[in-house]
Chains A and B, each alone.
Chain A
């Protein structure tokens, strides 16, 4: 089987020749090591969008001061701004972190809601089709979907203010949520009609309670997933929270095809076997391999991976890297540990071939 055949077999709920190993493409950069692993069967997951957006009545300007970039968004109803610190190395693809978010004051709601309502969407099929042609059998290209409106709200405040704002200004927060619902509805037809058959759809960061998940997130999945399934889409939720135990039954209720970025112990609190028990034999579990295991050495990594694979008899498993990958390499020691660790994962996968 080629890598693509292997991963598609799993996504179609069948058992492949062996567990696919599919880190995100950006987390395993090009080079001799990456080529060696790809020659051995590792494939990469490329996230590419076929939906574009624009906000025709919003214009922006940015100011740089040292390593800080401030961006101001101008709208007919007011201005909002963000700040980022740059040149921070491989913390993220952009090498930057956000310091200030758009909503700092109650007056900022109106401007942000204007921007959300001003967003227009368009199809950009080539944004998906071209990478699909380029990767051929060496990668799986995942299209973009929607983020649950409640999850999107956090991006306007930063985590702390987002937590308090829901209680300090519930009416304003609710209006923001309504605007994001409207935006999701406008974007949805483009997602549903996109050429991508495998798409990202929402996530779970674990920064709120199961009660909130039930209230705000579950209806989102119940509204859209049946339509997408009818359209033949396979939807993946990016559940990178490390506290999934408390959400396991709610995730089952979301009835999503793939639970992705699933991080097992020792980082996460839910094992594969427990997840399988909660989600049944029809859900693909796409693991985010916990890189900390690499620090225990290649033998321990191999044993860990074998245990992981054996703990899921249905074999609807993909092993990936969705958060760190080789971005965790900082020096000679970690380079060696990570590369030996990745080789050990592949050794284990080969040893456990079905």
Chain B
């Protein structure tokens, strides 16, 4: 099997010849070693947009100075900014008056389908990689991006009406984006990410209905939906994730960094695409070989697991580069 045939087997519920190993392309720099890894069966996972967007009535400025990297949005209903000013993080919504311009921007967003980047990437990678199309984001996580993760629950108490309008605007925008994604040639698409910052109640109220509305529409068009797990602490929201009903859980970090075992994760009716924990790659005290063997053993069906790397600590020394290479070689050797 080629890498693409192998990973597609898993995505379509069939048994591959061996467990696919598919790190994010950006984490595997090009060179002799990377070529050898691909010769041994490693594939690359890449993300690509299927559209670009504009906000015709918003003037965007990028301010770059010494300690400032700020994006300033000028809208007819007010000015907002985000980024870093004098080395302090600046969120788009820092004050109740900021809601209006943010909602204006969301409503002003026009999506222009452009499949060229996606198609070029698919053509380039050929059977050596899989391309995921950037897709929709759930409104709770997106709103948190505007407000700041730590402030979301407070905002729900302080400004519930404004937050409700923001979430509604985001949902309307998602409907416009969804059309572009559905019409795109992409099969494997992202449906955003989920974190453990919010209570199961909040997820139940805002996240679950969102996915229950959109995932069936994408599935109807034969899309395979992947949800990123942006946290290693998911045991408390396992039930919620299970109810979302997504095809692939991507970036799932197993113990010792994650708090949910691979066995428990496999109880969720999704393909589990692992983010192998940094500590098992870089810490000599772990037997990487045994660890990978055990992970593979846990998947009794033999068609629900993809080994991957989606997050990686900064590799800032030659020693770390060597350790990383040795770890990758061990993984591919164990996979067979």
Contact = CB atoms under 8 A, between A and B. Distances in A.
B62 interface: yes
B129 to A, nearest CB: 7
A31 B125 contact: yes
Contacts of A277: none
Interface stretch (A33-41, A158-166, A182-190, A261-269): A33-41
A291 interface: no
A60 B128 contact: no
Nearest to B2: A32
B44 A30 contact: yes
Nearest to B59: A63
A103 B321 CA distance: 45
Interface stretch (A15-23, A131-139, A207-215, A345-353): A131-139
A280 B9 CA distance: 58
22 contacts: A29-B120, A30-B30, A30-B44, A30-B128, A30-B129, A31-B123, A31-B124, A32-B125, A32-B128, A61-B62, A62-B61, A62-B62, A63-B60, A65-B54, A65-B59, A66-B56, A67-B54, A86-B52, A134-B31, A134-B33, A329-B123, A335-B123
A46 to B, nearest CB: 8
Given A32-B126, A35-B39, A90 B116 contact: yes
Interface string B54-72: 1010011111111000001
Interface residues of B, number: 39
Contacts of B318: 133
A139 B31 contact: yes
Nearest to B114: A87
Contacts of B34: 134
B123 to A, nearest CB: 7
B29 interface: yes
Interface in A11-61: 25, 29-35, 38-39, 44, 46, 56, 59-61
A83 to B, nearest CB: 14
B75 to A, nearest CB: 13
Interface in B164-202: none
Contacts of B128: 30-32, 35
Interface of A: 25, 29-35, 38-39, 44, 46, 56, 59-67, 86-87, 89-90, 95, 131, 133-139, 326, 329, 335
B52 A87 contact: yes
Residue from A29, A61, A95 whose CB has the most chain B CB atoms within 10 Å: A61
Contacts of A138: 30-32, 35
Contacts of A65: 54, 56, 59
A134 B29 contact: yes
Contacts of A38: 35
Given A30-B124, A89-B116, A66 B54 contact: yes
Contacts of B66: 56
Given A31-B126, A32-B128, A39-B39, A61 B30 contact: no
B329 interface: no
Interface in B66-115: 66, 72, 112, 114
B231 interface: no
Given A25-B30, A62-B62, A66-B56, A90 B126 contact: no
A89 B25 CA distance: 21
A347 to B, nearest CB: 20
A138 B34 CA distance: 10
Interface in B114-146: 114, 116-117, 120-121, 123-129
Contacts of B62: 60-62
A290 B30 CA distance: 26
Interface string B14-26: 0000000000010
Nearest to B66: A56
B22 to A, nearest CB: 14
A32 B127 contact: yes
Contact of B60 (A33, A64, A133, A326): A64
Given A31-B125, A32-B127, A329-B123, A64 B54 contact: yes
Nearest to B128: A32
B289 interface: no
Nearest to B121: A29
Given A60-B64, A62-B60, A89-B116, 20 more contacts: A29-B124, A30-B128, A31-B123, A31-B124, A32-B128, A38-B35, A59-B63, A59-B64, A61-B72, A62-B62, A63-B60, A64-B60, A66-B56, A67-B54, A133-B318, A134-B31, A135-B31, A136-B32, A139-B30, A335-B123
